A and B are shown apart, each in its own frame.
Chain A
Amino acid sequence: MTALSVRGLSHAYGGVPVLTSVDLDVEPGQVVAVVGPSGAGKTTLFRCLTRLVRADAGALEVHGRDLQQLEGAALRDARRDLGLVFQSYNLVRRLTALQNVLVGRLADVPTWRVVLRRFPAHEQALAASCLDQVGLLRFAHTRADRLSGGQQQRVAIARVLASRARVVLADEPVASLDPASAGAVLAALRSLATSHGKAVVCSLHQVDLVAGFADRVVGLRDGRVVLDVPAARFTPDVARDLYTPELERTPAR
């Protein structure tokens, strides 16, 4: 079954269309990179995919459940299938790496155990193995604010892994990282798909990072999908064309 299926998603802010009839399908185990110039609608697309913003029109199915129609408790429950990775990591700074991964398990642990910080041994072992997957087990008891940006983002990825969400949405996860850290973070995201069968949608600013990371590239411009190709066909020429403003484009193409 398709993990994430978007049909005709449209949204406007104050009468100005930001997304126009966006279609997007992502299969389990697949990594889709969303690229496009600033203002193309990438951030709005991600906010609509998580229902932080409710799109004006369209269907948004996660493993067959249409999030557009849900409200309240049903929406909260459906959202558990979505794992989010943010540009600013959003870790609790004064908790350790392991405790931050355990945040991904909160929904399944009884309240009294959370309040007293008495997580069952199997939950702790699960969190530890998630941390191991992103190569940070040796930092399990290090406070999040002592880790580098790239390490914090990998802890955030371990948190998503622990939450057992099947669809992972990453909005500019490496925008504030140096190239080496960015590579490690994207490799961790990649392994979510390869080793754990998650569907990963990731927006990127740097098009040169796409190769070796994504299976498919979706290009957004002016709120429309103008490109949907296998990563191998996302050549420098295609990238340049996507980022060239309408007026400067050569008519021959």
Chain B
Amino acid sequence: MTDLQERSGVGLVPVPPRPAQPLRTRVSRWLLSLIAVAGFVGCLRLADVDPIELAQGLPTMAGWLVQAFPPSTEALDTLLLRAAETVAIAVVGTTFAVILALPLCVLAARNTTPSGWVRLPVRLFLNGLRGVDAFVFALLFVAAVGLGPFAGVLGIALHTWGSMGKLFSESIEALPNGPLEAAELTGAGKVKTASFTLLPDVLPSISGIGLYLMEFNIRASTVLGVVGAGGIGQELKNAVDLLAFPRLATILLVILVMVTLVDQLSARLRKRLA
């Protein structure tokens, strides 16, 4: 008797053999793996991946790194102002998105939409907004309203409207149906039931989503200046164009500190919501 048998008091039984996989399953698995590998190799080619070029470029980059020290402290106040502008773009853009997304998410959620004929176009519209990046919207708005942070605000607001509407409607769909049904059976209309019985239940999850997208938008706003839509990205582009490496180092540090602070703050707030 083995040790295990003695301890457990249970006899040992041989493990039954695994059922054999049919040939078709095995062949199709091999084929799928092959297609996946071939696809990846194709992507490597398309993306011009060349380790030798990277190796040749490394010394140049190391040189830049050396030149970047010590980071310049010249006109630090301008940089900080630009950083604040970046945060402002994200805060205002995200807030506009919340205001725009709230009514649409009710129309886009399966359990609260008045009809499928309303839901489909609303979802298509939101998906369209989500499909175009804030950066691309900002590029268009720079042409329309001119250079500056306002173009960035509009870009962030439009793209976030789409993402937020979709995420909000998904959190509505995750709610239990009972309380809503109970309220509707009392004869109250859609607006009343949505605002009184739906909102309190989704509020924690939509505030969490709002904070998360705000945090995401602050990171996204750091590059908006590259297309002239305001914020610290403008300074970033200037420094790269002028090969002013000490200044570039300072800008990157400012971005890093700003993003870390925002991440910490947002994580802390979201923890309190949960």
Is residue A36 contacting chain B, with contact meaning CB distance below 8 A? Answer: no
Contact bitstring A104-118, B, C-beta under 8 A = 1, else 0: 101101010011010
Given contacts A95-B200, A103-B196, contact A90 B182 (CB under 8 A): yes
Check B186 against A86 for contact (C-beta < 8 Å): no
Check A107 against B186 for contact (C-beta < 8 Å): yes
Contact bitstring A67-94, B, C-beta under 8 A = 1, else 0: 0000000001101101010101111111
Is residue A181 contacting chain B, with contact meaning CB distance below 8 A? Answer: no
Given contacts A92-B197, A93-B201, contact A106 B182 (CB under 8 A): no
Check B189 against A50 for contact (C-beta < 8 Å): no
Check A86 against B187 for contact (C-beta < 8 Å): no
Given contacts A114-B192, A115-B191, contact A82 B201 (CB under 8 A): no
Check A103 against B182 for contact (C-beta < 8 Å): yes
Closest to A73 in B: B187
B193: A residues at CB distance < 8 A: 106
CA distance A109 to B191 in the complex (A): 12
Q: How far is the CB of B189 from chain A (nearest CB, A)?
A: 7
Is residue A163 contacting chain B, with contact meaning CB distance below 8 A? Answer: yes
A-B contact count (CB 8 A): 76
A103: B residues at CB distance < 8 A: 182-183, 186, 188, 196-197
B186: A residues at CB distance < 8 A: 80, 103-104, 106-107, 163, 165
Check A106 against B181 for contact (C-beta < 8 Å): no
Check A111 against B203 for contact (C-beta < 8 Å): no
CA distance A104 to B186 in the complex (A): 6
Given contacts A103-B197, A114-B192, contact A92 B179 (CB under 8 A): yes
Check B201 against A88 for contact (C-beta < 8 Å): no
**Which size class do B's interface residues fall under?**
20 to 34
B23: A residues at CB distance < 8 A: none
CA distance A4 to B181 in the complex (A): 22
A92: B residues at CB distance < 8 A: 179, 183, 196-197, 200-201
CA distance A92 to B194 in the complex (A): 12
Is residue B178 contacting chain A, with contact meaning CB distance below 8 A? Answer: yes
> Could you tell me which residues of chain A, from 140 to 180, have a CB within 8 Å of some CB in chain B?
156, 159, 163, 165
CA distance A86 to B182 in the complex (A): 9
Given contacts A86-B182, A103-B196, A106-B196, contact A80 B187 (CB under 8 A): yes
Check B201 against A76 for contact (C-beta < 8 Å): no
> Could you list 16 further interchain pairs (A-B, Cβ under 8 angstroms) beyond the known A91-B182, A115-B191?
A77-B187, A79-B185, A82-B185, A88-B178, A90-B178, A90-B181, A91-B179, A92-B179, A94-B201, A95-B197, A106-B183, A111-B189, A111-B192, A115-B195, A115-B196, A117-B196
The 7 closest A-B pairs by CB, nearest first: A106-B188, A90-B178, A107-B187, A80-B187, A94-B200, A90-B182, A114-B192
B residues with a Cβ closer than 8 A to A are 176, 178-179, 181-183, 185-189, 191-193, 195-197, 200-201, 203-204
